[in-house]
């Protein structure tokens, strides 16, 4: 959510703030990477919000949510720079929830 806010604010405003506090300015390539990263992580972020809910979440949400994340990751067309992230997320979910997916 913090990275999404940086993207929403925009490159020029972020650079202005960085200059005011004496930091090196973010490059356009770094901003492009952040946009790709946020795009990939959005389904994970939404799922975490759902699964962390104390009032609206139940055990029946877990498997469909994880399967939804996996489907979105598989169907994404992303910047090649974040392909390792997509692969790691997909493999991690498959490994972590393998027993649940294999159980009829």
Which residue reads 């962390």 in tokens?
A: 52
Model confidence pTM above 0.85: no
What domain range includes position 45?
Answer: 2-102
What's the mean pLDDT in 17-31? 95
Structure tokens at 103: 């159980």
The pLDDT tens digits for 37-93 are: 999 999 999 999 888 887 777 788 888 999 999 999 999 888 888 999 999 999 999
DSSP state of 26: P
pLDDT band for position 26 (50/70/90)?
very high
Tally of domains in the chain: 1
């Amino acid at each position: 959510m913090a990275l999404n806010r940086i993207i929403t604010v925009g490159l020029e405003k972020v650079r202005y703030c960085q200059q005011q506090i004496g930091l090196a300015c973010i490059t356009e390539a770094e901003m492009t990477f952040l946009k790709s990263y946020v795009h990939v992580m959005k389904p994970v972020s939404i799922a975490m919000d759902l699964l962390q809910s104390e009032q609206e979440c139940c055990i029946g949400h877990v498997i469909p949510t994880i399967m939804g994340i996996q489907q979105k990751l598989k169907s994404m067309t992303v910047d090649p720079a974040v392909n390792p992230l997509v692969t790691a997320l997909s493999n991690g979910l498959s490994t972590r929830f393998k027993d649940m997916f294999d159980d009829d």
